[in-house]
Amino acid sequence: MKTPTRTVPLGKILPEDAAAGLLWRHWQAGSKLAALPAAVRPRTRQAGYAVQARIPAAGGRKVLGWKIAATSAAGQAHIGVMGPLAGRLLSGQVHGEGATLSLAGNGMCVVEPEFAFRFGDALPPRAAPYELPEVLAAVTTLHPALEVPDSRFADFVQAGEAQLIADSACAHQLVLGAAAPELWRVLDLRTHTVQAQVHGAQGCRLVREGIGSNVLGDPRVALLWLVNELCGLGIGLEPGQFVSTGTCAVPLAVQAGDAVTAGYGALGRVSLHFAKGAGLA
């Protein structure tokens, strides 16, 4: 993120660094906070993104990709925001098909089926907004994905837009399935359905269907929104990074020991398991 150079007195810590460090410590401990201290609490979207930008350094992690939160009107109303939010997904948070994760410390305990796009070419930041054809031309593969979100705030519904952005838009864990066939480029993703299932000790206990139009009307439109949101912050997409575009179904409630699968028809499937025991993810 491009930010103005600031002179910091010796021994002083920037508010953004202090907030990022606090969020990261709670992240690692699996603990929650009511709110960031007033002295370091972001009050605007821009300030929230400034805090988020410092979390990778606070944790010594690399940015592998991006996620979008609140891509439906219902999701936006639920957390009290006016539009979508972008968040970073870091090394240690992204897993492959069939991964076993832990729910220890997770206050949300839900899984969200999503469409994720991986980039093969860079999209550097620029003044003019990107158009959808050039964004899709930079994409190499589409992947079925399952997000396991969480927040470092005890009551994330009341945390507010700026703090939720600072908290990387409730980023936590993501499972990426195998790359879908190139057929995805000619399909109408708006009408593409996804069926997700939760299996517990007694068998299948929840089946839920989603559709691409639940994601800002079209997962590709959500992807374009993310690219241009980052451009406005002076950030580009890099080769190898991916974007998970937001849930296409009502989030599925889960518990330790559950298995979750999501079928994307001709585009493939993705699954994960939750460990029965404790231990932070």
Q: Is 60 exceeded by the pLDDT of residue 8? A: no
Q: Is 50 exceeded by the pLDDT of residue 279? A: no
Q: Which pLDDT belongs to residue 281?
A: 42
Q: Which pLDDT belongs to residue 214?
A: 96
Nearest 5°: phi and psi at 200? -115, -165
| Predicted TM-score of the model (pTM) | 0.93
Residue 11 pLDDT class (50, 70, 90 cuts): low
Q: Which of 160, 152, 132, 137 is nearest to 226 (CA)?
A: 132
Which domains, ranges and CATH numbers included, belong to the chain?
Answer: 15-274 (3.90.850.10)
Number of neighbouring beta carbons within 10 Å of residue 112: 26
Mean pLDDT over residues 18-41, rounded? 97
d(CA 111, CA 102): 12
Mean pLDDT over residues 211-215, rounded? 97
Q: Which pLDDT belongs to residue 104?
A: 95
pLDDT digits (tens, 9 = 90+) for 151-188: 999 999 999 999 999 999 999 999 999 999 999 999 99
pLDDT digits (tens, 9 = 90+) for 110-127: 999 999 999 999 999 999
Assigned token pair, 113: 């089926």
Q: Which pLDDT belongs to residue 156?
A: 95
pLDDT digits (tens, 9 = 90+) for 219-229: 999 999 999 99
The whole-chain average pLDDT of the chain stands at 94
Residues 6+ apart with CB under 8 A from 11: none
* Weakest-pLDDT range from 10-19, 206-215, 223-232, 264-273: 10-19
Mean pLDDT over residues 41-55, rounded? 98
- End-to-end Cα, the chain, rounded Å: 28
Q: Which pLDDT belongs to residue 6?
A: 53
Q: Which pLDDT belongs to residue 277?
A: 72
CB 178 within 8 A of CB 99: no
pLDDT digits (tens, 9 = 90+) for 239-254: 999 999 999 999 999 9
Q: Which pLDDT belongs to residue 12?
A: 75
